[in-house]
Structures are given as structure tokens and as C-alpha cells.
Structure 1
């Protein structure tokens, strides 16, 4: 039976909701796949033409790449058929994958970073680029091969991060996660065989260290709410923090992008920046005075509520990210002052608003409801997160023993 080679978009999406472009090899009705290393949204894929639609910002480049890889694959198949030594689709894949995917760690990493940039995953792009740079610096090679990344390499790399880069254990784990991600991509692309995979049982295990998440108590939040005689900068920072807290610890990047048009029927309707989930939240009464204090600066119904994004180049995601980072840094500086004025000894940052909501909610709100409020994709994530703030059982057990069961 004749063999066929086609480009296809696989149905299994990655954690970003994107789908892999792959070469499908079929022989005797059995198919196998070679992954190109590129992922796109389904809406950008033309299944009839088997190419990327013009709606994708890099459609021309991706289609040229697809055409090139398809041509190379067909050439290799013709050579194999001429020698009459092809038995299965897997054998065809092994022969085709070698010339197409003879890529170094650096090349796979570059494609990965470019993909994050194309899909506006700029926060992750920035942090992962730093981690990749550390790998390249440690290896002292611009042509690092995946075969070189074995258990010994990873152990020495972990020591390098701790000794030379002063990385915390969590930062070390984050770096390993990036390497694992790239290694898995390389396996799918046929760059490296799975038998060389350095992670897993009896190899390098990736486990996040336990971290203590500390939120404010009710009395501490009330102390912030009743602060007076604040400077305009301090008052604005407090408004942003309370706005975040009142809406279940909404991330600052989302808070700053809220427009007046997102609020109607006493509800906030918005799309979360991190995972693009749409949510509708009832506005707590405590929020209305905060909103009222910004109405004087309202230009039109589509204007941003808060000033930080008013001068941002919204067509440039990197500018939006830069302004968000600058604003967050500024807020955290003023939150230190506010904590002192409110006589709060705990560290107070924008992210603590989220921990505070978790701490005060404790085990009083159904976990399914919290999952929606936190905008978590998995309920397991919510359970693990909320476990940081539920101490009732431990407290009661301790009291029972210490007080001899009384």
C-alpha cells in the first residue's frame, strides 16, 4: 500500500490552549506523527488547505516552514521507496525525522520563545528566557545538544544556580521545568529519543518546595480600610489593593485593564489576562466609593478606570507589560508605607491581596465557588491553594492534646 505524508493540526492542546502542527505519516492505514515544534490556536488553521490562515500574525513564515518541511519529508520518502526498504510508518518517521529535526537545545529554545512572543505570553517569555540563558551560560555552548542534558548535567546545573546565581529552591525548580518542557518538545519533534529523557522515577524529580502563603486577617484589612491622612499616591495604591481584594484577589494586570464599559448592572464583566477566561462578578458595595473617586478622570465609557494604562501603547504587548511591571513596583513601595501606618507587621504587596482573600475565606466557602472566583482551570489547584489557609483541624487537635482533652 502507498505511503502518504500530510501536514495536520493535532487535536491535543497544550496548557496554553494551543494545538501542535505536525507531519502525519500513514502506511498500511497506520499513522505516526512528527511534530514541528510550533503551536497555534485552532481558529488560525485552515483544515482544507492544511496551512495557517492569514489571521495568524506569523502565517507567511509558518507556511513557508511547513512547505519546506513537507518537501524534505517527501524527498526522504521518495529515496526510501526507491530503495524499496520501507516497512512501517514508524520506520518512515525515523528516517524523515533525522534530517528535519537535527536541532540543538538552543534552536528548540529559540522557537519556544518565539512562540510565546507570538501568542503574547510575554510574562512567561521574559522569565523563561532568563532561565534558558542560564542553561546556555552553564553549558558554555551555543550548540548544546539534548544528548548532553543528562542527569549529571542537570545536577551540576542545579548547583550552579544555587552557588553562582543565588537562586532559591523554587527558582531552581522553575528552571528545571523549562528544560523539561523543551526536552518534551524535542522528543515530539524527533530530535531526541525518549530513552534519553533525564526526568522521572529514579532520575531527576521535579517537586516544588512548600511555601507559606500568608494573608492578612480581618482586623488587618479593617485597619487598612480606615486609614486616613494619606498622600494621593498612597490613597491610589490603597484603592488598587482593596479593589483587588474585594474581587477575590484579582491580579494587578487585570485590575489596571478594567474599563468603565466593563461595569454594568452593578457587575464587572471582564476577561482574565492570564488564561483569557471570561467572568462576571457582582460589585461589592465597598467598591462603589472607590469607583466614584475616579469618575472625574473619565474621558468616555471605554476609558480605563485607573490611570496606569491610559498612556500605554495597547498595540504593543511589551509596552503594556512594562507599564504593568512599573506600576506593580510602585504600588509595592507604597504598600510598605501603608503597612507601617496600619501597624501591620506582615509583608504587604499586591499579591498579598489574593492570599488575604484566601485566608479570610478559609473553609467557609464551597471549593467549587472558590475555583470560579480564583479563575483556576483545575479544582485541584484551588484545593492545594486553599489548604495554605485552613488551620482549624490542626489548631483543634493541638488544643485537645495540650489541654488534655478538656
Structure 2
């Protein structure tokens, strides 16, 4: 009896209205199907030539893939016939194709979140959980095969994120980065083939939009320093902001975890929470004045300088994360009020302290020294960051042309 393998487009659309490509294996007029893992629009299929029309953006690469899969199936049939193996269409399919993993995208997503929680990366866990919720909302199910995540899926998903969800381009790209991360892990674990990888040259591109970083000027910071009639919480919030600024834009989490024991020999010695790098900085006179206002609350050298983390359960990463988040919001609320009172029009938050240091440093401090202060692993990172605040050469060039 005859046995054959043929490429077809199955007429059972998925939830997105796309139709699956498959290899149909027929034996004795009974057929079974092996899905390729790609879905296309009905109008992109040439039923006569049994191939994808040029109207599809990836017609050539997909047709090459289909030819490869068909060749693989036919070779398998020849091998079975050579070995005189007689079987049903379903049994032939099992013989030709080795079982594949049943792990889905969300299986890998759950493993990713579990790993972040085990490593106490609560901030990242919270962010990635939020990104994954958008994917689940779009798919309306947690059963998402990696084979479904092709270029068309990503393009339509991006439209959904920016349209229905009103996310920014940056947020949409961050979600795509997470999808790419999990896809790469699936390939590494041999759950999916590299052939269906939807990212890279000639495929879906992840490109972040250029952003501007705005810092305060020296004059604006002086206006904050001299702002009168502050309440206790306003003064405390400003102290934390200035402490960050005076130490080259020290991150808020590092500020809150600074202990009295880290201050000796006129220097602050600390390990950055983001990359665990050690840093030793001279304590400026302005910081000494801030420290004097908190020393009365000091019980021992191991106390935190600022009070926000004193009641945190340091064995519970989630409690630490919550208290840092609450503290940051409190500081931002008070700093915004102070900035408004002093006539500052720019957006002022705790993170702007870091941008402000970069803005005032401009091109007056050598990049290698700034790299040390910022604790960047790569000088290129420092140069790219500082480029946001260096305008003198461009300004001079403009003046040389228009001032005639």
C-alpha cells in the first residue's frame, strides 16, 4: 500500500486566526499530522504549489524550512521501507519524529521567577512578573508553545502593548527582551530548535528608543540646599537626596543600607548592591553636616544611618523590598514638593541625584575617574551615560556657525 508525506496548511486556525503548517503523513488512506510550529494567514498559502506566497514577509525562509522538513520526513519513510517496517500512519510518525519536550513558554517563565525569588532578586521578580502578565493577557491562556512565538506574533503583540495597554516603546522592548531570554534558555535546553528563533538579523529586532537624562544644575541644587521652612520629613527626604548626590549619585538602596560602621578614617566604605563592587569615598564637609543630625539616634556602630531599614526584617527579602519601595515613594513625594517650592521646573526624584552629578561633572572630570565613581564595569558604559550631559562642543560648534 502507498505511503506519502506532503506539506499542507491545516484549516483549523488558532486563537489569533492563523493557520498551522504541517507535514501530512498518509498510509493506506489514513493520515496523521506533524505540525511545523509556524502559523500563517490563509491568504499567504498557495494551495496549488503547496508553498507560502511571496506576500508573506518571511516566505523564502519559511519555504526553505518546509522543504527541509519534508525532506526529513521522506528520508524517514525511505528508511522504514528499507527496513521492511510496516506500520500505521500514526506509528510511522512516531518512528520518524523523536518525541519533543512538552515544556511551554510559561513553564520556562515560572522557572525564571522561581530562580529570581530563590536568589532574593525581589525587584527583578516583581518587574518580570508584571511583564509576563501582559503576555498572558494577550494570549488569554498560559499554554503558549515556543513555536507560536514567531515574528508575526511579536509584531502583533507589540501593537497590542502600545495600543491596548498604552505602554511606552521602552516598556514594550523590555518585555521583548524577557521573551528573548526565555527563548534562548529553551534553545540551550534543547526544547526548541534554533531554526524557529524569531530574533536577530532579518527577523524581529529589539531596539530601544533613545532617551534623554536630565539632571539639576549647580544653581538648582544650591536652591534645594538653602530651601527654608522645611518640615521634619521634608528635611529628612532632602538629606537622603543630598547624601546620594554628594556621593556621586549613590543608589537609594545603598544609601538606606549605609551603616555607621562603614564610616571611618574620614571615608565611606561600601559595597554596591547592584554589582557588589567595593568603593571608598572621602566624606565631603556637606555630608558631615548631614551625619551630625542623625548621630543622636545612633545606638551602636552597626546601626543604619537613616531610619527606614531599622525595622525591616533583614532575613526576609520581600519585607526589605517593600520597605525600600515605600521609602522611595515617600522621598520622591517630598522632594517634588521642595523642588516646586524652589521654582525648579524639572522632574526631581531620588534617581535624579545620580543624573545631577553627571550633569555637573559634564566633561570636566576624566571619564576614567567617573568610571571609578560610578563603578561601571566598562568605560563605554560611562561614556554613553555621560554623553547625556556633555553639550559644550555641540554648543560651540553651533555658535561658530550662527553668530556671524
TM-score (norm 1): 0.74
Q: Which moved more, 1:221-230 or 1:307-316?
A: 221-230
Aligned to 1:367: 367
Contact 1:101 1:189 in 2 (8 A): no
What residue number does 1:192 align with?
192
Take 1:100 and 1:117, find their aligned partners in 2: how far apart are those partners?
29
Equivalent-residue separation in structure 2 for 1:372 and 1:133 (angstroms) = 38
| Aligned ranges 1:157-176 → 2 under 5 Å | 157-176=157-176
The CA distance in 1 between the partners of 2:377 and 2:154, in whole Å, is: 31
1:219 Cα deviation from its structure 2 partner:
0.5
Structure 1 residue aligned with 2:286: 286
Q: Following the alignment from structure 1 to structure 2, what is the Cα–Cα distance between the partners of residues 180 and 380?
A: 24
Backbone CA RMSD of aligned residues: 1.4
1:247 matched to 2:210 = no
Shift of 1:271: 1.3
Note the alpha carbon deviations across 1:206-237, whole angstroms, 9 max, x for none.
11111111000010011111122110011001
The 1:286/1:100 distance shift into structure 2, 3 A limit, reads farther
Cα distance in 2 for residues equivalent to 1:227 and 1:130: 39
Identify unmatched segments of 5+ residues in structure 1.
Answer: 1-94
Separation of aligned partners in 2, 1:136 and 1:371: 40
Tell me, in whole angstroms, the C-alpha distance in 2 between the residues paired with 1:118 and 1:356. 35
Q: Which runs of 4+ in 1 moved over 2 A?
A: 98-102
Higher alpha-carbon deviation: 337-346 or 313-322? 337-346
Partner of 2:205: 205
Distance in 1 separating the partners of 2:353 and 2:196: 44
Which residue in the other structure is 1:342 paired with?
342
Aligned twin of 1:381 = 381
Q: Which residue of 2 aligns with 1:120?
A: 120
Give the structure 2 partner of residue 83 of structure 1.
none
Counterparts of 1:288 and 1:145, CA distance in 2: 58
SS in 2 for 1:123: helix
SS at match of 1:286: helix
Q: Deviations over 1:366-400 (max 9, x none)?
A: 11211121122222111111100001111011101
Map 1:2-401 onto structure 2 (within 5 A). 101-401=101-401
Cα offset for 1:141?
A: 2.1
> Shift of residue 341 of structure 1?
2.1
Deviations 1:246-278 (A, max 9, x none): 001011111001010111111111111112222
- Secondary structure of the structure 2 residue equivalent to 1:228: coil
Instruction: State the Cα distance separating 1:100 from its structure 2 match.
Output: 8.4
SS of residue matched to 1:102: coil
Partner of 1:47: none
| Distance in 2, Cα, partners of 1:296 & 1:317 | 29
Return the alpha-carbon distance in structure 1 between the equivalents of residues 207 and 172 of structure 2. 10
TM-score normalised according to structure 2 size: 0.74
Q: CA deviation at 1:99?
A: 6.2
Q: How far apart are the structure 2 equivalents of 1:397 and 1:137?
A: 50
Greater C-alpha Rg? 2
